[in-house]
Amino acid sequence: MQDTNQQLQVGAASVANEPPQPMSTEPRHLPVPVKANGKMRSRRIGALFLVLALGAAGGAGYVVWQQMHPPLPVGISFGNGRIEADEVDISTKYAGRVAELKAEIGDLVTPGQEVARMDTRDIDQSLSKSEAQASQAQRSVEEAQANLTQQETQRTLAQQEMERTSRLLANGWTTQEAADQRKQALDAASAAYNAAQARVFVAQHALEAARHDSGFYKVQIADNTLVAPKAGRIQYRLTNIGEVLGAGGKVFTMLDFSYVYMDVYLPTAEAGKVKVGADARIVLDAYPDHPIPAKVSFIASQAQFTPKTVETQTERDKLMFRIRVRIEQDRLAAHADAIRSGLPGVTYIRWDPTLVWPRNLESAR
């Protein structure tokens, strides 16, 4: 241990006795950044030109968009919504089994077109029975009328004999007893005639009842043939062949093409200026360049909170009024094949009739 301490002391003394080293006067070589090569420089210049070109194109596009979509003037309001059409259920009137389906989802149907048929074999049998009863009642009427004719002839004969007997009695050529007998014969013939006439009335009423039964069964058979009440498109098929449905069972759901509309929501300040019949335009997202003419057909009398599915520029807690715009029927008839339900779009309502529509909404193509 002592040897180690002595060695440390000797080393320290030798270091202290050494003369100081002179400072070097040579300049230090600092790291010099490597210059970018030509390829890197060209890439940077190309990226700069690309950014400038994109900026110029974006500015030009914005100018074109502003020209095509100028800001709306005061007097025209807009709201988001979805195009809708009235749904009509084609249902059964009587309980029965589905025998045939003559339409499918997506088919265009016309008013009165047959789309389904129910099983009517039981009603057909009842109709045959009723028609047989009507035929029998017709024969009964003919028989009663023939009997009436016979009784009328007998009454006429009895009346003639009574008249001759009365003349003979007045001249004293016959007795009173003979006159009384003729009188009784006339009364009996008249009574038989009245009875025959009554039987004709009974037979005729029975025939009418049988015919009404036949008509009732025919109406049932016709009601079991389901037809489209209006022009439209089949949206849903709700049953299959062979299924048994109760009265009122739904077979198809169709869209009524005569009533297509869009509901939008406007704040109180704007909704209060809109009137029923005001001119409107519907621009669907699927056809942004085809504004569709429409008219305001309904304005809610009470405000309500904005539904979550409607996007507006105002806060959600503001009360809004529901306004319905309806597409003109002439346009619907001309473009029935393009009508869809549920397509989103924007409705523009011109509540100031003195304004002119912007060029992008001026007319529908």
Phi, psi of 154 (to 5 degrees): -65, -40
Phi, psi of 99 (to 5 degrees): -100, -35
Handedness of CA 170, 172, 178, 180 (dihedral sign): positive
**If you compute the radius of gyration of the chain from its CA atoms, what whole number of angstroms results?**
51
Equal CATH topology for 66-85+257-361 and 88-119+225-250: no
What is the pLDDT at residue 330?
74
Phi, psi of 340 (to 5 degrees): -130, 155
Q: What is the DSSP letter of 23?
A: P
Instruction: Say if domain 88-119+225-250 classifies as CATH 3.10.450.50.
Output: no
**Domain residue limits, the chain:** 66-85+257-361, 88-119+225-250, 121-222
Say which residues have a Cβ less than 8 Å from residue 295's Cβ, sequence separation at least 6.
277, 278, 279, 280, 325, 326, 328
Full pLDDT tens readout for the chain, 365 residues: 444 444 434 343 343 344 444 444 444 444 444 444 556 666 667 666 666 666 666 555 544 445 545 577 888 999 999 989 889 999 999 999 999 999 999 899 999 999 999 999 999 999 999 999 999 999 999 999 999 999 989 999 988 988 888 888 888 888 888 888 888 988 898 999 999 999 999 999 999 999 999 999 999 999 999 999 988 899 999 999 999 999 999 999 999 888 899 999 988 888 889 999 999 999 988 888 888 899 999 998 888 765 555 555 555 446 788 999 998 877 776 666 667 788 899 999 999 888 888 888 876 54
Say which residues have a Cβ less than 8 Å from residue 336's Cβ, sequence separation at least 6.
108, 231, 257
What is the pLDDT at residue 65?
43
pTM of the model: 0.61
What is the pLDDT at residue 2?
40
At residue 187, what is the residue type? D
| Burial class of residue 121 (count of CB atoms within 10 Å of its CB; 0-12, 13-18, 19+) | exposed
CA 283 vs. chain centroid, Å, equals 20
CB 323 within 8 A of CB 264: yes
Instruction: Say if domain 66-85+257-361 classifies as CATH 2.40.30.170.
Output: yes
Q: Which of 239, 231, 259, 265 is nearest to 341 (CA)?
A: 259
b/e sequence 12-36, b meaning 16+ C-beta within 10 Å: eeeeeeeeeeeeeeeeeeeeeeeee
What residues are paired with 305 via a beta bridge?
319
